[in-house]
Structure 1
Amino acid sequence: MSTTKVPFVTLNNKTRIPQLGFGTYLIPTTTAYDLVYEACKQGYRHFDTATIYKNEVEVSGGIVKFIKEEAKQTGSSFDEIRKQFYYTTKLWNDDCTSHEAATKGIDTCLQKAGELQYIDLLLIHSPLMGPKNRIATWSAMQDYDTSKVRSIGISNFGVKHIEQLLSWDGLEITPAINQLELSPWVMRPEIVKFCQQNGIELEAYCPITRGLKLTDPTITKIGEKHGVTAAQVLLRWSLQKKFIPLVKTVSLKRMAANFDFFDFELTADEMKLIDHPEAHEPTAWECTECE
């Protein structure tokens, strides 16, 4: 399957990220390696994992297996094909208790990345460790060698958490990304606006609402009009909002369908019909208002 249809987003540090990622939350170690390898064959080049997912070794291993096979078949070098891939992982709260702890956490993440050699994007998984430890963790992340950690960012941060980080007098690197649950029913307009005003891109997890809204009459009607699935409508909505959606499935059929929403466009009226800016119906955790 071609990967050329996937657009790229240029981050505030001038690096580029594919505007579609494959999420691996709750994918067990027994299946993650093979599933990620199959996703590579389907055309996915952007993969998202985390320390707390406990599958970093398998996720990176599935990518490495594909890269090695592709290098052998095409006569390209491993490094040439590695550049086509984007690997994200996240530091969990236990890694974010001090500058030293965060540095050890980053080292561990790099070890688990294995033959991928570097991490394209490293995120603080949540703001739950508190103001002091958020700053200490960011200090460690921005001090790290950029040849090993190319970009750094945040996840589940609310406006006040980002404001605190941006106002820190030791700030040298602005977060490249804030990864949040974003969908038509969790639009978070204040956070989205603030991030966009400060050059921070938005990654959207649970963009298809964990399937809970796939029978929504408006979504299904729009899907029928375009000859696409409800999931594809929601992914297209996310793309047109300038988000970077992260899809997750263990079904090879849905994996292919979730990669195939680039050939149609929602009209401005359809986008407005899908929008629910006053709704707040998260399907995952909610910590954007914590201290």
Structure 2
Amino acid sequence: MTLKMLYGTAWKKERTASLVQQALQAGFLAIDTAAQPKHYQEHLVGDGVRSFLSTSKFTRQDLYLQTKYTSFNGQDPNNLPYDPSTSITEQVKASVASSLHNLRHNGNAEDSYIDCLVLHSPLPTMNQTIEAWNAMSSFVPTKVHSLGISNTSLPVLQHICSNSSVKPKVVQNRFYAATRWDIALRGFCSDNAIEYQSFWTLTGNPELLGGQLVAMVVEQAGVNAEVALYSLVQGLGITPINGTTSHIESDVAELSKLELWKSEDRNNEIWEECVKALDGLLRHWANSLDYRTR
């Protein structure tokens, strides 16, 4: 089974390398990190990747490694991957150079590459955002294969798409009520071949996690509620980020169990109805929130 999910490495601290290796061994072949020492230990992600590859049948080409350029506002000013006194363009170049070194899959950093480089958030002005984006674009398609943006609104995403030669291939956002579950933005992503990645998928949606729809999938497929919600969200065309530290292997096993259940025709019909119901529920809730704010 191809696991349509990324393993998230934020806040793993000194456990990062061992957890990344464990996640890769379990089947998470897509890893999300950032050149932001405040919340990520990117160099330890690289250690975990190299440890995994050294004893695995898999090669670097089998993995998807995604990292981020984080502007000064999102960094610890005492621990930066670049000189903050330089231009945004130079900051991006230094950040990418550090990421290529950290995520090298062997001893030779010249062979290193990044599958997707994500702008961690828009910068304070649109001109600064475009400068960062253009600097990121200069690495495509050789050292960086694709670009993305996180924590974005639809207008910012549309502006980047309209004013750049290298178009976004990934959007990574919180998936929760405050953004109306990005219904309009996800529609734009779908229309423009942009992968929408969700974080806060579980913690940002306690009503869904404890709701009747998830409970139905749990009962029908015999999986836990967390995996049921992840899978329902996947059914909407979303790639969730899973940052578990305590049930890496069991999540993969439960997802495989659900895929097997869905493979039966009758169960697949039930599944499609559940996904349709989730989409309808989110649209209803979003409309209710919009009505209350008028």
TM-score tier, shorter chain, comes to: 0.7 to 0.9
CA contact 2:176–2:204 (8 Å) conserved in 1: no
Aligned to 2:152: 157
Shift of 1:130: 2.3
Give the number of equivalent residue pairs.
254
Distance 1:255 1:237 in 2: 14
Confirm or deny that 1:198 pairs with 2:192: yes
Shift of 1:257: 4.5
Shift of 1:207: 2.4
Q: Which has the higher contact order (CA 8 A, sep 6+)?
A: 1
Shift of 1:119: 0.9
Shift of 1:138: 0.8
Matched AA of 1:113? L
Aligned to 1:37: 21
1:196-275 aligned within 5 A: 196-209=190-203, 212-213=206-207, 214-252=209-247, 254-257=250-253, 259-260=255-256, 261-263=258-260, 264=262, 265=268, 267-274=271-278, 275=281
Shift of 1:107: 1.2
Distance 2:251 2:221 in 1: 20
TM score, norm. by length of structure 2: 0.78
Shift of 1:215: 2.5
Deviations 1:165-213 (A, max 9, x none): 1232xx2111111111236895211111112222222112222236734
Q: 1:31/1:258 Cα in 2 relative to 1: closer, same or farther (>3 Å)?
A: farther
Deviations 1:46-97 (A, max 9, x none): 00011223311111211110101115xxxxxxxx711111100011122796
Aligned to 1:76: none
Question: % of aligned pairs identical?
Answer: 23
Confirm or deny that 1:62 pairs with 2:52: no
Aligned to 2:4: 19
Q: 1:130/1:259 Cα in 2 relative to 1: closer, same or farther (>3 Å)?
A: farther
Distance 1:93 1:184 in 2: 26
Segments of 5+ residues of structure 2 without an aligned counterpart are 73-81, 107-111, 263-267, 287-294
Deviations 1:233-278 (A, max 9, x none): 2111122111111111011354444643433245333224333224
Segments of 5+ residues of structure 1 without an aligned counterpart are 7-17, 72-79, 281-291
Match of 2:210, SS?
A: coil
TM score, norm. by length of structure 1: 0.79
Distance 1:210 1:193 in 2: 20
Query: Normalized per residue, which structure has more helix?
Result: 2
Q: Radius of gyration: which is bigger? A: 2
CA contact 1:88–1:122 (8 Å) conserved in 2: yes
Matched AA of 1:270? C
Distance 2:26 2:49 in 1: 12
